[in-house]
């Protein structure tokens, strides 16, 4: 419905939408004339009954839109924040209008005769449109969180693009759109830091967490990702379905325990050589998550099986062992199922909302 930042990325998606036969609309992460919003990755809850981050005049309309779409108020609020920064008069260079940044062609279908610059009309139309795109991609979602992500991707790139990709399409703009809004929904609009769609692993407890590779930058997120062009023949397994987070720090950066851990296994694990030198641990307290660190530098591991370590304890040095492209940490988190002495796969969950819930900027 509105374009990204005036650089032409949104226009490119609009052309793609025409080519693949999805509704013509282009969405915004930064509104026209405004600044790109700062990413809110860590949790800063501000949504209580008495002090909501949602402007009071829009709360009733958002409640109705959330009920219409079967998506959370937190998600829709973060989406409007990303689209227009709550500006009902926003207009993008490509013609998107109003607080929800509808393109005129899409407004004709979902505006129900209203005014796109009337925030109540626009928010109601957003609820109808999110309900429509959610229905079109629901067959690809395995849980509420996945449905929210796919609905956002469909809102940005079109339901046809999501269906063709079998998930979030590999457009940089769409991936960033989904990540930004999911993070903002949890970090800025959730009352208790809960991730959108909740989590099935239980409470994370009151213990302090820290970043597993302090001073690093996240270089790859969790889930499906595009094949590297030069590695297209090997685009399978963890290359295309990334089951953790990658962090890259300065040369020789130290990987640390992000929470209390019991070390279960270290070194190169038979059958999992692609992960290189690893440290496998488990939270001693509920919910008993498996926590795994891969691609440690050879012979750099400072802990051993049976050790109990506190948050911030050095585990190994960031490395490039196994099937790796440069020094980095591959960080995996799994629910407490399976063999604790081997890396997980089917039991792995996205660590990002867990880190956010603990106030860690990933």
Spatial CA neighbour of 123 closest among 176, 61, 53: 61
Residue 33 burial (10 A CB sphere; 0-12, 13-18, 19+): exposed
Residue 290: count of CB within 10 angstroms of its CB = 25
- Going from the C-alpha of 225 to that of each of 148, 158, 190, 193, 228, the distances in angstroms are 18, 18, 27, 27, 9
Spatial CA neighbour of 242 closest among 168, 316, 143, 142: 168
The active-site residue, picked from 38, 56, 57, 83, is 83
The torsion angle over the Cα atoms of residues 130, 163, 17 and 127, rounded to 10 degrees, is 0
| Bridging pattern class, strands 348-349 and 254-256 | unpaired
Chain centre to alpha carbon of residue 355: 11
Task: Give the ranges where the chain is alpha helix by DSSP (H).
Answer: 9-20, 59-69, 73-84, 104-110, 119-137, 144-157, 159-165, 172-188, 351-357
**Is 136 an active-site residue?**
no
Active centre residues (catalytic) = 83
């Amino acid at each position: 419905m509105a374009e990204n930042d005036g650089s032409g990325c949104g226009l490119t998606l609009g052309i793609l939408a025409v080519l693949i036969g999805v509704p013509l609309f282009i969405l915004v992460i930064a509104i026209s004339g405004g600044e790109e919003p700062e990413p809110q990755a860590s949790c800063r809850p501000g949504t209580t009954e008495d002090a909501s981050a949602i402007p009071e005049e829009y709360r009733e309309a958002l409640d109705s839109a959330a009920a219409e779409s079967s998506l959370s108020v937190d998600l829709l609020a973060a989406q409007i924040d990303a689209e227009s920064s709550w500006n009902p008069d926003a207009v993008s260079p490509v013609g998107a209008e109003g607080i929800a940044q509808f393109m005129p062609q899409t407004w004709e279908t979902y505006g129900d005769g209203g005014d796109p610059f009337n925030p109540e009309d626009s928010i109601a139309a957003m609820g109808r449109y999110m309900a429509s795109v959610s229905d079109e991609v629901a067959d690809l979602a395995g849980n509420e969180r996945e449905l929210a992500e796919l609905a956002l991707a469909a809102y940005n790139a079109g339901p046809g693009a999501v269906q063709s990709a079998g998930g979030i399409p590999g457009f940089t703009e769409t991936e960033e759109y989904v990540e930004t809004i999911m993070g903002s929904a949890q970090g800025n609009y959730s009352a208790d830091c809960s991730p959108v769609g909740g989590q099935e692993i239980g409470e994370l407890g009151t213990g302090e967490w820290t970043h597993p590779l302090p001073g690093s930058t996240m270089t790859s997120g969790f889930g499906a990702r595009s094949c590297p062009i030069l590695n297209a023949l090997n685009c399978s397994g963890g290359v295309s379905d990334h089951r953790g987070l990658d962090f890259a720090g300065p040369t020789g950066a130290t990987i640390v325990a992000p929470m209390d851990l019991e070390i279960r296994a270290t070194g190169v694990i038979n059958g999992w050589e692609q992960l290189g030198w690893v440290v496998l641990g488990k939270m001693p307290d509920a919910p008993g998550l498996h926590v795994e660190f891969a691609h440690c530098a050879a012979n750099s591991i400072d802990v051993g099986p049976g050790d109990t370590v506190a948050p911030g304890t050095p585990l190994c040095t960031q490395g490039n062992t196994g099937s790796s492209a440069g020094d980095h940490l591959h960080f995996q988190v799994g629910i407490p199922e399976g063999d604790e002495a081997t890396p997980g796969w089917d039991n792995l969950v996205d660590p990002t909302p867990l880190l956010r819930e603990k106030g860690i900027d990933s």
